[in-house]
Structures are given as structure tokens and as C-alpha cells.
Amino acid sequence: MESKHLWQLISFYLSTTLALLRHLVLHILTLNQSPFIIKFMDLILSVYFRLCNLTPCAVDLDDQTTIHFWVTNHRRFDRPSLVMIHGYGGNPLWQFVYQVGPLSRRFNLYIPDLLFFGKSHSKSPFRSEFFQAKCLSDGLKRIGVDRFSVYAISYGGFVAYRMAEMWPDAVEKVAIVSSGLSYTDEQRDQQLRTIGRHPSEILVPKKPDDLRLLVNLSTFKQGTLNWVPDFLLRQFITLMYDHCRKEKIELADYLVKKKADPNLHVLTQETLIIWGDQDKVFPLELAYNLQRHLGKNSRLEIIKNVGHAANLESPDELNKLIFSFVIGECGFEYAETHYHLIYGLGRSYK
């Protein structure tokens, strides 16, 4: 009898354990099919933004277009206003996570989602950076921001440049990071041949390997995502790129197809150009092109051993440059070893 009861007890525990394992496997398979983990991480980042004295708000420009912002909770009039414009690699939560803390202590921040990214959307057929710029400017006016400086990275730089061009009385200073504004058709075609794929296939990835390629192109250190399992990358793609995928592709196609502008407007604002010396998306020669085009009102700063994504690879140096440029003094403590060499048109950092 005792052996019979023992066997029943063992059977009970075995069946219970198997049932739990089965439930766990089914749960994992369900997670693989939905962006649950990435959504949770996105939520954590949004909580962090709130801890940085920012709150989300949505501005309806009309019955077609809504712009979503992260805005400073309590505006301090002794602090300058800074608009931060992201690029293609996700929403602002992910792109500015290493910068928003320090910058929020020095500026009144206004961080929009560009149209078709994050929670900003439009039924409009327009895909130009001019339309993006107009929508952001209209949104800022609606929330009472009439004067501001702007810091923008990559695709966001195209938008920031047009904002400064069209509203010079509103935009005080411009900081542009790794944005290929001043290129020739020949330079663009050569870069496309070097990359070997259409930009929309890389900027709007469909598969984990596409996302790995995007990150490898954007960073100096290679293999950053090699350790990340495919199912997590698929979740990231689902959350960041599947939403408005068609519109994101159209934005990229617009930039690729448009002819280079030999008469690119020369900004009247002081402009800081920041570039990683190992940028494989927009090569360093484009930084020199832009600095020569803008002339005496511009300054070029080159950060050594950094690729296209300086906001992720070198956020401290980037924060320091932005602060000193907009405020006019050093607001972060840095060792003298950060200053490496002044050469040509720019200063190099390592």
C-alpha cells in the first residue's frame, strides 16, 4: 500500500510539473509572436522620461495630422528651450535614453515623434522633410513654444534644417548630428553602391538580420546585436517598424529619389555640426561639405572612434557639446583628456 501511495504522489508531481512546463512553453511561443517584452521595455523607458520631468502630450493640428511630444512638465524661464528630433532608428525613447537625463536638468525639453514614428500620424500624402518641419513647428506653436534651439540626428537633421530655414525668428541655434544634407548626386550614388542595398530595406528592416545590418552600419563597434536572440529582434521590428511601414518606406524613398540641391539655403543661425569619424551611413566628407557651405556661422566637431549613432556610442561627449553650444559655457564636468586635437575645420574628440 505504501508503495502504491508513493507512486501516486510521484505521478501527481510529474503530471503537475509537465503541465507547468507545457504552459511555460506555450507562453514563450506566444511571446515570440507578439512584442510583449519590447513593449514592456518601451514602458520602462517612458517611466524614465517621466522621472526626467517630462510628460507626453498629443497635438491635433487638423483632422488629418496629430503630433505627439514629450514636454517639460514645468517650464523654467531661466532655462533655454531645446527641441530634440530623432532619426530613423526607432522612437525618441530609445534614441535619446542616454541623453534625456542630463539635458533635462539644463533645458526645457520638447521631444516630438516625427510623423509615422511613435504616436505621430497623418492622413496626408506628403512625405517631404518640409512637411515634417511644418507639422513640428505648428505643433510647437500650439503648445506655446515660440523660441527654441534644435538638436537633431540623422533624418531628423533634414527636418531641423528646414525648420531653421523657414522660421529663422523661432529657431535660435541649430545642432545637427550626422545628417547628410550637403551631398552631390555622385556622392549619394556612390554611397548607395557601397552599401549595396536600397536604403528603405535597411532603414525599415523586416528581418532580424536586416536590423543587425542597420546597427552595424550605424555603430563603430561591430556585432552589437549578435548576442540578441532573433525573437527579441522580431519583437523590436514589430513595435518600431511594422507600424506605418508603408509611410516610413515612402519617407526614405523621397530622400533617395530627390535630386541634390546645389542651392541649399545657407542658415542665418549659428550651427554646430557634429560627426563621428567612423560614420558609414553619411561619410565624414559630407560633414566638411556642410561646414564649407554654411561658412562662418558654423562649427564642425568630430568625435573619434564613433560611427553614425553618436547619441548611443558617445552620449556624454554629445551632451557636453550641445550644452556648451546652446548655453555658451561648459555645463558638464569632463577631464581634459577628452580634448584631443584641433585640426582643419573641426575639433576631434576621443
Query: Can you state the angle between helices 230-240 and 36-51, rounded to 10 degrees?
Result: 60
Q: What is the pLDDT of residue 32?
A: 47
Measured distance CA(102)–CA(52) in Å, rounded: 9
Locus of grid cell 519590447: 38
Per-position pLDDT tens, the chain of length 350: 555 555 555 554 555 555 555 544 444 444 445 678 889 999 999 999 999 999 999 999 999 999 999 999 989 989 999 999 999 988 999 999 999 999 999 999 999 999 999 999 999 999 999 999 999 999 999 999 999 999 999 999 999 999 999 999 999 999 999 999 988 888 888 888 888 788 888 899 999 999 999 999 999 988 778 889 999 999 999 999 999 999 999 999 998 888 888 889 999 999 999 999 999 999 999 999 999 999 999 999 999 999 999 999 999 999 999 999 999 854 333 333 333 322 233 444 34
- CB 176, CB 271: distance < 8 Å: yes
Pick from 211, 224, 223: nearest CA to 88: 211
| Grid cell at residue 54 | 517630462
Is residue 69 within 8 Å of residue 82, measured between CB atoms?
A: no
| Contact residues for 11 (Cβ-Cβ < 8 A; gap 6+) | none
C-alpha cell at 46: 517612458
Instruction: Give burial (CB, 10 Å; 0-12/13-18/19+) of 204.
Output: buried
The grid coordinates of residue 335 equal 577631464
CB 241 within 8 A of CB 248: yes
Burial class (CB in 10 A: 0-12, 13-18, 19+), 153: buried
Q: Give Cα 166 to chain centroid, integer Å.
A: 23
Model pTM?
0.85
Phi/psi zone of residue 118: left (φ > 0), alpha (ψ -120 to 50 degrees), beta? left
